[in-house]
Each structure stands twice: as structure tokens, then as C-alpha cells.
Amino acid sequence: MPKISFFGHACFQVEHNGQKLLFDPFLTDNPQAAVSADELQPDYILVSHGHYDHLGDALDIAKRTGATIITTMDLAAECKKHQVKEHAMNIGVKHYFDFGFVRTTKALHHAGIGSEACGFIVDLDGFTLYFTGDTSLFGDLKLYGAIEKIDLLLLPIGGYYTMDIDDAVYAAKLINAKTIIPFHYNTWPLIKADPHEFAEKVTKNTPSHCIILAPGETVTLS
């Protein structure tokens, strides 16, 4: 069963069948960073968009480990200039890798580099997780919840740059996942949010169950 670690802000690592998928590895200068970028040995790095708090240490980690960066077309082209392995994906499509499939999703957010920000739906032997990336609330979240049965949903709740708690609860209603882990909060004062308030509202308003991970914590999900 997949093991999910939260390293702070928007950085997660998912381990499954001996492979490690690292999401949005912003660790250097991340006040919440629970590991240093040099300690990580991912096989793949999924980058949702080109803002520094998501691209983060991705290029350095990919150079050191040979990990493949999976990201949007424009950001992958930028990564290629740095001689790292990259896999470019159009938004909304599904591609099969050796660990399972990745479907990129729309995200309603500024791209930073290039023209698009994205999220990722990742299927690992029938366990499906959806990392929305940075996004505001938008209607197609319902579509993604309908076409894939989401076991684990990773949602931003900090507001200002992304959904706030109430928008994220509405997104949770649209997506209808089994379990939800919030991220992108309390890194800086501007995105202060109480994850317990989010968890209570999820329990009250949706059939989903919320797990709060402090930076550095790991959970194994079935």
C-alpha cells in the first residue's frame, strides 16, 4: 500500500512498490521543510507549476539522482535546458509509466513558467491519488472526481494564492474522495489556516475523512 510523507508546504513523497514519487519539492528556504533536498532519492518528480515554492529544488534533485521530472509542456522544455530527464504532458491526458498512470488536470492558477499550471491524478495499482496543485475552486473538479474514483485527495487550504478552507470543503464535496490531506497553509502568515477547522468542516459537510499531517509525518493508506 502507498506510503505518503508530507515534507512541508506542497511537498509530498509517495512510496509504492519500491518506487518514490516526489511532488513539488520546495525544501531550500521552506520554513516548514522536514527534510533537506540532498537526502531525497526519488525516481520521479512531479512538478505542478513553475512558481519557486513548487519547482523548488526539483532541478538539483533531478541532476543528482537522475529522476525524471513529469510536468507541463512549457516547464518540461525549461527543465530540458538544464540537462535533466523530463516527461512533458499536455493537460488532461493520461500516460502510463512503470509505476502506474498519471493524468494531468487543470488548475486555476498562474503558471510561473509557461502558460499552464496543473494537478496530477496518479494511479498506483488501483490506488488513486489526486494532488490538485495550487488551484482556486472551479467546476471541472467535479468531472475529475467522476472519471476517477479518488482514494486520496491532496488539497490546498491556505487561501490568498489558492482555495481557502471553505472553498476547499466545497472542492471536497465535488471530488468525493475517501481521504483528504490538506497542504499549502501556515508556511507564511499570508496563508495562515487551521487544518482542524478544515477537518471538522469536511466531516460535517462531506462523506470524506481528513488526515492532518505535520511536516515530517508519514501515513500508510489502504
Binding site for Mn ion (CB under 5 A): 53, 134
**Contact present, 44 and 65 (Cβ < 8 Å):** no
Looking at beta carbons only, is 137 or 143 nearer to Mn ion?
137
**Residue in the structure block whose three cell numbers are 499536455:** 90
Nearer to Mn ion, 134 or 164 (CB): 134
Q: How far is the CB of 128 from Mn ion (least distance, A)?
A: 23
Rounded-to-integer distance, Cα 144 and Cα 130, Å: 9
Which residue's CB is nearer to Mn ion, number 183 or number 198?
183
Paired strand residues for 49 = none
Q: How far is the CB of 13 from Mn ion (least distance, A)?
A: 18
Nearer to Mn ion, 141 or 191 (CB): 191
How near is the Cβ of 187 to Mn ion at its closest, in Å?
9
| Whether 2 contacts 16, CB under 8 Å | yes
164 binds, among Mn ion, Ni ion, none (CB under 5 to 8 A by kind): none
The bridge status of strand 3-8 relative to strand 11-16 is antiparallel
The residue nearest Ni ion at its CB is 51
Q: Is 129 helix (H, G, I), strand (E, B) or coil?
A: strand
Least spacing, CB of residue 49 vs Mn ion, in Å: 8
| Residues contacting residue 218 through CB under 8 Å, at least 6 positions apart | 3, 4, 5, 6
Least Å distance, CB 159 to Ni ion, is 13
Q: Which one of Ni ion, Mn ion, none interacts with residue 151, CB within 5 to 8 A by kind? A: none
Nearer to Mn ion, 145 or 156 (CB): 156
R_g over Cα of the chain: 16
- Residues at the site binding Ni ion, with contacts judged by CB under 5 A: 51, 134
The answer to whether 172 and 157 have CB atoms below 8 angstroms apart is: no
Q: Which of 94, 98, 88, 155 is nearest to 125 (CA)?
A: 98
d(CA 150, CA 6): 19
Q: Which is nearer to Ni ion, 21 or 117 (CB)?
A: 117
CB of 126 to Ni ion, least distance (A): 31
